Amino acid sequence: MDELRYHYKYPHPSVTADCVVFGFDGVNLMILLVKRGHEPYKGKWAFPGGFINIDESAESGALRELKEETGLSDVVINQFYAFTNPDRDPRERVISIAYYAVVRLQSVTGGDDAAKASWFKFDEIPSLAFDHQEILCRACETLYKKLLCEPLDFSFLPDGITMLEFRNFYSFVRNNFDYQKNQTVNNDCLVLNFLLYLYTMP
């Protein structure tokens, strides 16, 4: 019976993990992309990510791919959505579990099947492979909601962020991730989050 444990009667999809990494320089946010070195979409920009190994969790796979393709390690990632459109990958049926992270802007180097890794300003983001434009929009919406619409824990913010940087971070997200038409900014949460941050500062 042991030899049949991994044999299934029904077709099943492959699973990938993708990482949307926001880089913060103290004033502005940038987005981390990799240039694909192989087909499909060879030469196109995309988020770091790839197929999850059979013996690892989605989070472990996301962190492994992030390190292999960009050199980033010791990153706190947060799962925010699963992308399941049957036609999202031309190779086969693929479900992507997406994570976001906020890190200090730092040097990155393309590796593994990523020909290059680079930071992009939001007004300079190129056309993206697969459904990664949709993933980007969902990640920005998630960050917007987390900062402006609900009480916040600070575990996803870079270590050592100052009060001025925190204020700049708030301002950038509020001014550039324009979800005001669909979301109601909770001003009580804005005030509460600022007070909580002041209280938790060393």
Going along the chain from its start, the domains and CATH numbers come out as: 12-200 (3.90.79.10)
Structural tokens at position 159: 């270590």
Distance of CA 183 to the CA centre of its chain: 21
Kindly report each contact of residues 133-137 with a partner whose C-beta sits within 8 Å and lies 24 or more positions away, as own/partner: 134/83, 135/18, 135/20, 135/47, 135/81, 135/83, 135/96, 135/98, 136/20, 136/31, 136/47
pLDDT of residue 182: 44
170, with CB counted inside 10 A (0-12, 13-18, 19+), is: middle
pLDDT of residue 75: 93
Neighbours of 14 (CB within 10 A): 13
Of residues 172 and 36, the one with the higher pLDDT is: 36
Task: Judge if pTM exceeds 0.75.
Answer: yes
Given a cut of 70, whether residue 155 has pLDDT beyond it is no
Q: What is the pLDDT of residues 75-131, one digit of tens each?
A: 999 999 999 999 999 999 999 999 999 999 999 999 988 999 999 998 899 999 999
pLDDT of residue 2: 55
Percent of the chain past pLDDT 70, that is, above it, reads: 80
Confidence bin at 178 (pLDDT 50/70/90): low
Kindly report the three-state secondary structure assignment for every residue of the chain.
CHHHCCCCCCCCCEEEEEEEEEEECCCCEEEEEEEECCCCCCCCEECCEEECCCCCCHHHHHHHHHHHHHCCCCCCCEEEEEECCCCCCCCCCEEEEEEEEEEECCCCCCCCCEEEEEEEEHHHCCCECCCHHHHHHHHHHHHHHHHHCCCCCCCCCCCCCCHHHHHHHHHHHHHHCCCCCCCCCCHHHHHHHHHHHHHHCC
Output the average pLDDT for the chain: 84
